[in-house]
Amino acid sequence: MDKFEKLSGIAAPMPLINIDTDMIIPKQFLKTIKRSGLGVNLFDEMRYDDNGNEIPDFVLNKPAYREAEIIVAGDNFGCGSSREHAPWAIKDFGIKCVIAPSFADIFFNNCFKNGILPIVLPQEQVDVLMKDAEKGANARMEIDLEAQTVTTSDGETFAFEVDAFRKHCLLNGLDDIGLTLEKKPAIESYESEAAQARPWV
């Protein structure tokens, strides 16, 4: 998993509430167990018409937001089913941070496990960030995980809270496998001692 330290990126405004996981990645794309390749189908039913053509008015299809790395969204982002394909699709598209007034718990937890930073801020602060995101590609937001701040293109800064352990994992690029591998010397020592004590096992 890539380390998340600082991010300076374009933010896509999505002022919708209750963006659920089926909107993020529809059920027909859940057959794969690979984390890559899902970005093209992110928000599929909003991005494409019935013939597979892009819908020009959808934010991620607009030229200013095709390279967006941040989403500023409405309340209760990631609700619905617990599919981990939702953060996989977001990450594969290139989104590294989602900012909203609230998130569904399972989606929120899955973001951290997949290297995405979900930031919870009060509605009035999200409103300011939403307006900043609406400026397009010339307005870049700054996310500093170490300092726990979000800064608008105009220099207005908001502080956010993040669990210390999850912050450590993102800063060091540690998913569940990475955390286990940190204990590799202790695991190998235990296995060696266990093999000597119980060679018949």
Q: What is the pLDDT of residue 199?
A: 81
Percentage of residues of the chain with pLDDT beyond 70: 97
| pLDDT of 37 over the 70 cut | yes
Determine contact, residues 14/70, Cβ cutoff 8 Å. Answer: no
Q: Kindly report, residue by residue over 59-99, the tens digit of the pLDDT.
A: 999 999 999 999 999 999 999 998 999 999 999 999 999 99
| pLDDT class of 187 with cuts at 50, 70, 90 | confident
pLDDT tens for residues 131-166?
999 999 988 999 999 999 999 999 999 999 999 999
Residues in CB range of 137: below 8 A, 6 or more apart: 10, 63, 64, 65, 67
Ranking 42-51, 83-92, 141-150, 184-193 by mean pLDDT, the lowest is 184-193
What is the mean pLDDT of the segment spanning 111-118? Answer: 96
Res. 184 pLDDT band, cuts 50 70 90: confident
Which pLDDT does position 182 carry in this prediction?
66
Residue with tokens 């899955």: 110
User: Which of 9, 13, 8 has its CA nearest to residue 126?
Assistant: 13
* Tokens coding 138: 């010339």
The fourth-level CATH superfamily of domain 6-173 is Aconitase, domain 4 (3.20.19.10)
Give the CA distances from residue 77 to residues 19, 102, 111, 177, 201, in Å, rounded to whole numbers and listed in that order. 5, 6, 12, 27, 49
Confidence (pLDDT) at 82: 87
How far, CA to CA in Å, does 199 sit from each of 45, 191, 192? Answer: 58, 11, 10
CA distance linking residue 187 with residue 83, whole number of Å: 31
Residues 6+ apart with CB under 8 A from 7: 69, 70, 96, 97, 117, 141, 142, 143
